[in-house]
Structure 1
Amino acid sequence: MDTSPYVDFLKGMVKPLLATSVVFMAVALSFVQKLGLGTEMVYAIIRAFLQLSVVGFVLQFIFSQKNAGWIVLAYLFMVSVAGYTAGQRANHVPRGKFIAGASILAGTSITMLVLVLLRVFPFTPRYIIPVAGMMVGNSMTVTGVTMKRLRDDVKTQMSLVETALALGATPRQATFEQVKRSLILALSPVIDNAKTVGLISLPGAMTGLIMGGASPIEAIQLQIVVMNMLIGASTVSSIASTYLCWPAFFTKAYQLEAKVFKQ
C-alpha cells in the first residue's frame, strides 16, 4: 500500500474540500444580498488552499532536516512578508516596509531568544517555526497599526508638535502623547484578547491540541505560554516601530518633515 506523503495529503483533503460547502453558502448569501463579495470569497479560499498546501509540504521538508539554518531561513522569510504587509498599511511612512520588518524582527527575535534560553521551547523546527509564525503574525498587525496611527496623529496635531519643538522639546517629547495613543490603540486588542481568552472562544493553539487528542490541561498550559509571548513580542515590536519612525518624521534640525505629512 502506497503511504507516500502525497497520497496521505490527497486522502486528508477530503474533509477540507467538503468544508468548502459553507463557503459556497456564504457566496450565495453575498449574491442574494448584492454584496459583490462572492468572487473575492472564492478567490480567497482558493488562494488559502494553494498557500497552505505549499506551506504544508515545505514544513514537512524542514521538519525532516536537522540543520538549524532552515529554521532561520523560514523565520526570516516570515518576517520579510510580515514587514512588507505591515509597511503597506503604513504606506505614507517613509521606508515603512523596512521599519516594519526591523521592528517585527526585533520584537519576535528577542522574545524567542528569551523563551529558548529559559527552555520553554526547544530549538527545533517543529516548535520554533509555528511559535515564530504566531508571534510574527501578531506583531505584523500591531506594528502596522502603530505606524499608521502615529503618522496620522502627528499630521492631525502638527501645530501642537511644532509648538513643542519651538519651545525646545526633543522629537520624543514633542510627540509623546501621539506615541502613547498609537501604542495603546495597537496593543489594546492583544491585551483584551488575553483578558477574555477561554471565556469567549478557545484559541487556535488550544483548540488544535484538544482536537489532536491532548488533555485540556496540557492545552491550557501551552496557550498560557502563547498569550505571554504574543504580548511580549507585540509590545517590543510596536515600541521599536515608534523609535524607527522618528528619523523619517523629523529633519536633522528637529523640524517636522513636511513632505511626510502632505498626503
Structure 2
Amino acid sequence: MDLEWMHEFLKGMIKPLLATAVVLMAVLLSYFQKLGLECEMIYSILRAFLQLSVIGFVLQFIFSQHRSVWIILAYLFMVSVAGYTAGQRAKHVPRGKYVAGVSILAGTSVTMLLLVVLNVFPFTPRFIIPVAGMMVGNAMTVTGVTMKRLRDDIKMQLNLVETALALGATPRQATFQQVKRALVIALSPVLDNAKTVGLIALPGAMTGLIMGGASPLEAIQLQIVVMNMLIGASTLSSIVSTYLCWPAFFTPAYQLETKVFSSN
C-alpha cells in the first residue's frame, strides 16, 4: 500500500505545529492577565486541529471520487451544521434550527445553481465544496443575527406591533420596520467587508491563491466572484428567514404569539 501521501501529510504538519507557538503566547498572556481563558484557548485550538485534520482526509477522499452524490452529501452536511448553529443563536425563535436550515439551504442553493448555470464554476468537488462552504458560513452568521434581531425588536415594540395589527395591518405590514432593521444590521458586516476588501486586509480566498503561486490578477478575479456570491447568498437566506419566522410569531388570526416573546 502506497503511504507516500501520509508521509507528505506528516511532513506538511510541521509548520502548523510550529505555529502553535503563537497560541502558547496567547495562553501565557491570558494566565498573567488572569483572564481565565487558558483552558478554552487550548481546547479551541486542539478542536480546530482535530476537525481540520479530519476534514482534510474527508475532502481528499471526496476529491478522488467522480460522483455528484458526494458533493451533495457534503453540502447538505454543511447546511445542517450551519442551521443548527444559527438556530442556537436564535434559540428563542420556535423551530429556529429548522427555519435557519431551510433559509440557508434556499439562499446558498439558488446562488450556487446560478453560478453553475452561468459556468462561473464547474460542478466538481474541488470547486463546489470550498465555494459552498464560504457561502454557507456567511449565510449562517447573517441568518442567525437576522432571526435573533427580529424577535428581539418585535419584543421591544410589542405595543406598536399590536396597535398596527388592531388597525388591520398584516403581519408583514405591522413588522416592516423591525424586519428592515434586522436585515440591515445582519447584512451590514457583509456589505462593509465588500467595500473595504483589499484595502484593509487581503481576503482568505485571494491570499490562498497568491500563496499557492497564482498571480495577483487571477486571485482578484476569483475574489470578486466570491464577494458577489456571498452577498447574494447572505441576502437571500436572511430574507427567507424573516418569512419563515412569521408563522411562529403570529397566530392564524394575525395576533402576536405572546408566549414567544415572554422569555428573555
Q: Which residue of 1 aligns with 2:79?
A: 79
- How do residues 63-78 of structure 1 correspond to structure 2 at under 5 angstroms? 63-78=63-78
TM-superposed deviation, 1:7: 1.6
- How do residues 5-44 of structure 1 correspond to structure 2 at under 5 angstroms? 5-44=5-44
Structure 1: distance between partners of 2:127 and 2:144: 26
Letter in 2 for 1:109: S
- How do residues 58-207 of structure 1 correspond to structure 2 at under 5 angstroms? 58-207=58-207
- Structure 1: gaps (5+ residues): none
Deviation by residue 1:149-180 (Cα, 9 ceiling, x = unmatched): 00000000000000000000000000000000
TM-superposed deviation, 1:186: 0.1
Structure 1: distance between partners of 2:235 and 2:8: 40
Name the Cα RMSD after superposition: 0.9
TM-superposed deviation, 1:52: 0.2
Letter in 2 for 1:108: T
TM-superposed deviation, 1:3: 5.1
- How do residues 40-59 of structure 1 correspond to structure 2 at under 5 angstroms? 40-59=40-59
Q: More deviation in 108-117 or 2-11?
A: 2-11
Letter in 2 for 1:210: I
Q: Which residue of 1 aligns with 2:223?
A: 223
Structure 1: distance between partners of 2:224 and 2:3: 36
Structure 2: distance between partners of 1:6 and 1:261: 54
TM-superposed deviation, 1:9: 1.1
Q: Could you state the TM-score of these two structures normalised by the residue count of structure 2? A: 0.99
Q: Which residue of 2 aligns with 1:241?
A: 241
Deviation by residue 1:49-82 (Cα, 9 ceiling, x = unmatched): 0000000000000000001000000000000000
Deviation by residue 1:129-158 (Cα, 9 ceiling, x = unmatched): 000000000000000000000000000000
Q: Which residue of 2 aligns with 1:214?
A: 214
Secondary structure of the corresponding residue to residue 214 of structure 2:
coil
Structure 1: distance between partners of 2:78 and 2:241: 18
Secondary structure of the corresponding residue to residue 47 of structure 1:
helix
Q: Which residue of 2 aligns with 1:257?
A: 257
Structure 2: distance between partners of 1:248 and 1:112: 29
Structure 1: distance between partners of 2:33 and 2:220: 40
Secondary structure of the corresponding residue to residue 251 of structure 1:
coil
Q: How many residues align?
A: 263
Letter in 2 for 1:242: T
Letter in 1 for 2:213: G
TM-superposed deviation, 1:121: 0.1
TM-superposed deviation, 1:4: 2.5
- Structure 2: gaps (5+ residues): none
Letter in 2 for 1:96: G
Deviation by residue 1:72-100 (Cα, 9 ceiling, x = unmatched): 00000000000000000000000000000
TM-superposed deviation, 1:10: 0.7
Structure 1: distance between partners of 2:55 and 2:256: 44
Structure 2: distance between partners of 1:253 and 1:197: 47
